[in-house]
Every structure is written in C-alpha cells, then in structure tokens.
Amino acid sequence: MSRDDVVYHDFMSRWEPGAEGRLKRAALELYTERGFEQTTVAEIAARAGLTARTFFRYFADKREVLFAGQSTMYELIVNTVADAPESLSPIEAVEHTLLAMASFMEAMGEGARQRQNVISANAELRERELIKLASLTASIADALRSRGAADPVATLSAEAGVAVFKVAFERWVAQPRGAGLAALIKETFDELGTVIGSRE
C-alpha cells in the first residue's frame, strides 16, 4: 500500500463516493413509504448502506435532506433573473428563468415529485417550504430591481411568478404522465393573464 493509497483510503472512509445522493434517495424512499415523522436517521443510513455518523457529515437532521440543495437552486434562480436579457420585461425575465429551471426539475424527475408529496403531507415541512418560497420571492424582486424595475412592478412580478410556479408545479406533481413542467408554466402564465383580464 503506497502512501497515496493510505491517504486515499482515509479520505474515502470519511467521504463515501456518492454518499450524499444515496442518503437523499434512501430518505425520500423511506419518507414516501412510511412517512417523514416515522423515519429515523439510523433507518435512512441503513437503507443507504452507510452509518448514521456518515449521515451527519452531510445533513444536520432528517429535515435538511429535503431542503439541502434548495438554496443552491434558489441562488441560481435569482442570478438568472438578474442576468436575463435586458429586452425582457420584469415578468418575462421571471418566466424565462422559471422555464430554464423547469428542465432541471424535469431532469430530477421522480425525486422532485416524491419530495413535494412528502412536504405536502407534513404541516411543519409545508411551513418551512412556505417560508423559503417567501424569501425566494423577495430575492427575485431584489434581482428585478437590480435590472432597473421599480416597485410595485418588481414585487408584483416576483409574486405573480412564484404563484404561477406553485400552481404549475402542483399540476405537474399530480399528473406524472401529463404535460411537461415548462408547458404547464407557460399555460399557467396564460391563465393568470386571462384571470386578471376578466376584471371590468
């Protein structure tokens, strides 16, 4: 065994290759099978073929498995809004961003659906998601202001965009064999236009 092998072995014993993804998949499976409350960290680790100690190297607790990665995605959303082509109106910049994100979520496929179903089934998780979405809305409004949008246009565009996304995402989760997420986002934006346009 060379010195490099030893270093490599030591590294691998602490940072299992793919451990994070395996833990996430195991957690989503268990939350789906027996519910979030009824699942323990020990069970998640066992399902992933890892130890609880390894679990805690990646996640603070079993709730974090559902929300880790979200901040990265939210950051991406906010940056994409800020950098959207100047020719786009604020609501177009938001739509452009949500459509770009749709491909990511579709690539996550079943995992994104499972996650949403787990969150919907638990009041505490729903509240946490709500708070995260409100902070995303505020950050999108900030990004729109950074592109020169004034208020209330910035806030209204962010609120409308997040509302459309929530509705489109719920429809997508509910119909695994239905339209793609991007198509649903476009359609829901159109429907919001019709709804608002019905004011006399």
Q: Which is nearer to a second copy, 48 or 94 (CB)?
A: 94
Is the Cβ of residue 26 or residue 101 nearer to a second copy in the bound state? 101
Q: What are phi and psi of 120, to 5 degrees?
A: -60, -25
Q: How far apart are CA 145 and CA 154, in angstroms?
A: 6
Nearer to a second copy (CB atom), residue 72 or residue 194: 194
Q: Catalog residues that contact a second copy under the rule CB under 8 A.
A: 89-92, 95, 127, 130-131, 134, 152-153, 155-157, 159-160, 163-164, 166-167, 171, 188-189, 191-200
Provide the minimum distance between the beta carbon of 101 and a second copy in the complex, in angstroms, as a whole number: 17
> Which of 71, 67, 63 has its CA nearest to residue 135?
71
Given the complex with a second copy, which of 33 and 124 has the nearer CB atom? 124
CB 80 → a second copy: shortest distance, Å?
17
Query: 175-181 — which CB contacts under 8 Å span 24+ positions?
Result: 176/113, 180/102, 180/106, 181/102, 181/105, 181/106
Omega before 90 within 30 of 0, i.e. cis: no
Residue 83 DSSP one-character state? T
Helix crossing, 70-82 with 90-108: angle to 10°? 150
User: Which one, 46 or 192, has the nearer CB to a second copy?
Assistant: 192
Cβ at position 11, least distance to a second copy in Å: 39
Q: Are 128 and 61 in contact (CB under 8 A)?
A: no
Question: CB of 62: closest distance to a second copy in angstroms?
Answer: 21
Shortest distance in whole angstroms from residue 166 CB to a second copy: 7
